Chain A
Amino acid sequence: MSNKINYLHPHEEAIKTQALEILMHSPRAKALYEEIAPSVKILKGPLPQAFVHASKTIYLRVPALQTKGRLEQAIDLAGALIELKINATLPPLDPATIESDEILVQQHYKNVSIYMKAFPIAEELDEASHKALKEIRLMGLGKLYQAWKTGAGLEECANIYWSIFDTENENKEG
């Protein structure tokens, strides 16, 4: 195997600029972005997702056919900024235990915490006419948002988040 792979998105600059332009309409996100001053890289890949590394690096994955930065990227970026902030308070992951149930549960709760902190940013974007709450729903987070909005705590939100991935139980119950 010798072919080298280019992961960088062909429209990296445009997507980054447009996603940041949207995100800056949220005062909370703007403050976070200015505080962290991250390096943002746009990668191509089938499904949008964000990944953070060390203290300042954010990878946003965007389908190769997409040419513009959308609200989805802005929300992913908001989540990544929040994750960088959270990670700064956590010990580094140990490779020896990374597949353990304990770490999986920790990661699960961290994700839910990120979303709960991202929802106020989404609301600010929505108030700035970006239809961010509709996007939250399209991203599969509608139930989680509704629970958070009606005052659910971390534990309840975590159970809802888990159920999003669990189609087997849905079938059994259905």
Chain B
Amino acid sequence: MAWQRLSDDEKNDLLQVIGDDTLPGLFDSEYGIAQHTPYHFYEDCSLIVWENLKIAPPFTFDYLRSGQYIVYLDGSAEPFEKLNSLGCLNLTSETVVDYLEFFCHYVNQRPQNILLLRNPDTMPFQDTVFIDFHFDKNNYTEKDIKVARNADDSGYIITAPYVFAGKIDRGIATISDSGAVHIERESPR
């Protein structure tokens, strides 16, 4: 993923939109940087991150921007619904796994959070999960992620290992062509 830093002018233009004067200290231009990166499942759209460097790791705010339209990723699916309704999403059997991983990262249903187990060895913050994770993760590889077109040809089904609130289990994600995601355990315990 190639991050590109916004110039000072671009950063200040961005702050005009994302800044909030009622929240002092969060959007001070001289204490932060803005970066953006495209995602191949979105056309003419990029992820923009505002990083407040007064703490480390930075206090970040993440957005998706398409042209003049920008949505703040607030931990719910709503920003995705708004952006996807503009028609920027390009889901194919090649891009849908990346989209699902991205979606899971940004839609946080804490404490029942769900993550796609893409590459067990590079998942950050491995200490956050239960001890079983460290044993169970060795049973999976990226080859365990299976993508199929939905039977009614209206989206995708991804059968894969997922981390459900810190524990690995097999699950099924249904992803509509408009980007709506639903994940459930394959065999509920």
Contacts and interface: CB of A to CB of B under 8 A. Distances in A.
B108 interface: yes
A93 B54 contact: yes
Residue in A46, A59, A99 with the greatest tally of chain B CB atoms within 10 Å: A46
Contacts of A111: 55-56
Nearest to A54: B25
A63 B52 contact: no
Nearest to A106: B56
Nearest to B33: A99
Given A57-B24, A65-B75, A137 B128 contact: yes
Given A44-B75, A93-B31, A93-B54, A171 B121 contact: yes
Contacts of A61: 59
Contact of B20 (A7, A63, A165): A7
A2 B68 contact: yes
A7 B109 CA distance: 18
Nearest to B109: A65
Interface in B4-45: 13-14, 16-18, 20, 23-26, 30-31, 33
A137 to B, nearest CB: 7
A12 to B, nearest CB: 12
Nearest to A70: B111
A141 interface: yes
B26 A65 contact: no
B23 A45 contact: no
A88 interface: no
A53 B26 CA distance: 8
A33 to B, nearest CB: 20
B128 A139 contact: yes
B65 interface: yes
Contact of A137 (B56, B72, B107, B127): B127
A64 B71 CA distance: 14
A153 interface: no
Nearest to A174: B121
Interface in B120-168: 121-129, 166
Contacts of B85: none
Given A3-B70, A5-B18, A164-B125, A46 B108 contact: yes
Given A98-B54, A99-B53, A165-B57, A1 B126 contact: no
Contacts of B76: 44, 63-65
B177 interface: no
Interface of A: 1-5, 7, 41, 43-49, 51, 53-54, 57, 59, 61-66, 70, 72, 93, 95, 98-99, 104, 107-108, 111, 137-143, 164-165, 167, 170-171, 174
Interface of B: 13-14, 16-18, 20, 23-26, 30-31, 33, 52-57, 59, 61-62, 65, 68-76, 78, 105-111, 121-129, 166
Pick the 10 closest A-B CB pairs, nearest first: A53-B25, A63-B75, A107-B56, A95-B30, A63-B108, A64-B76, A44-B74, A64-B74, A1-B17, A140-B128
